[in-house]
Amino acid sequence: MLRAMALVDQFRQTLSELPPDWPSAELALAVSDPARADRAAALLGPLGPGRRGTTLHFACARTGTDNIARLLGTLDEEGIAGTLELEATAVPAPEAEPEERPLAAAWDDEVAALPSDWSDVFAELELTSSDHLAPAALRLAPVNPLRDGERLAFRFRSAHRFGYGAAEPVVRRCLERVDEAAIPGTVRILHVFSDTNPVGTQGPVWFVGGRNV
């Protein structure tokens, strides 16, 4: 005569058959001996099981499997046999895709994080597709964009009050035009100078990639 599988072993086998990212599951324990159903319900009391006849229904969270295994072990120790079945498994919630922030608004955030006395910045707009290089370059023309090697990115300067870069409102308007064309990307400020007071020149320059920008 074959010995019934212990409830703990049934539980572990059930867990092994669940998908790796399961968040929760619903289980049912059919107690073999009706006279032992009350005792089984009492031992599983911490799980708040529902009961229908001699069958106990309870939930199992992925983070609570050790506790359930311990409680089922007490049933095994008392010789309470039964059949454990999986009733349902919750479907993991899909990860929310990050919302695309308009480039003009992202530029506002970048500028807001600058010190109040900023004078010059070196920034870039990184695109997601080479198909957008030409239309983006057209809309960025007033800020004199420069390609960054083979990257799908344009770099440009902006000045607060005077200097070589495009005025900050001009940069914002160009980025609005890129937004209007539904061209996705990421804008970021790479370098910043504060409180520059040039003498005999329009302002500082950066030496990037072997050339002045």
In a domain, 143, yes or no: yes
- Same domain for 116 and 57, yes or no, is no
Number of folded domains that form the chain: 2
Name the domain boundary from 66, 89, 112. 89
Per-residue pLDDT at 1 exceeds 50: no
Per-residue pLDDT at 100 exceeds 90: no
* Angstrom distances, CA of residue 37 to CA of 44, 47, 82: 11, 15, 10
Q: Which residues contact 34 (CB under 8 A, 6 or more apart)?
A: 53, 54
In a domain, 178, yes or no: yes
Highest mean pLDDT pick, 1-15, 100-114, 151-165:
100-114
For 82, phi then psi, to 5°, come to 175, 180
Give the pLDDT of residue 4: 72
Per-residue pLDDT at 93 exceeds 70: no
Give the pLDDT of residue 101: 86
Please tell me the number of Cα atoms within 13 Å of 71 on its side-chain side. 19
Per-residue pLDDT at 2 exceeds 50: no
pLDDT in tens, 166-184: 999 999 999 999 999 999 9
Please, what is the average pLDDT of the chain?
88
In a domain, 27, yes or no: yes
In a domain, 209, yes or no: no
Domain coverage including residue 37 = 7-89
pLDDT in tens, 180-211: 999 999 999 998 888 666 665 656 665 565 56
Residue pointed to by tokens 């001699």: 54
In a domain, 206, yes or no: no
Q: Which residues contact 163 (CB under 8 A, 6 or more apart)?
A: 119, 120, 157, 196, 198, 202, 203, 204
Name the domain boundary from 63, 89, 115. 89
Break the chain down into helix, strand, coil percent, rounded to 5.
35, 30, 35
In a domain, 96, yes or no: no
pLDDT in tens, 28-50: 999 999 999 999 999 999 999 99
For 137, phi then psi, to 5°, come to -60, -40
In a domain, 150, yes or no: yes
- Same domain for 122 and 158, yes or no, is yes
- Maximum alpha-carbon separation in the chain: 101
Among 26, 27, 68, 28, which Cα is nearest to 44's? 68
Enclosing H/E stretch for 177: helix 168-180
Q: Average the pLDDT over 84-96 and give the result.
A: 79
The one-letter code for the residue type at 135 is: P
Length of the chain: 213
In a domain, 187, yes or no: yes
CATH (domain of 48): 3.30.70
Reported confidence tier of residue 3, pLDDT bands at 50, 70, 90: low
pLDDT in tens, 49-58: 999 999 999 9
Is pTM, for the whole model, over 0.75?
no
Give the pLDDT of residue 213: 59
The span from the CA of 208 to the CA of 188, in Å, is 16
Per-residue pLDDT at 8 exceeds 50: yes
Q: Is the model more confident about 96 or about 127?
A: 127
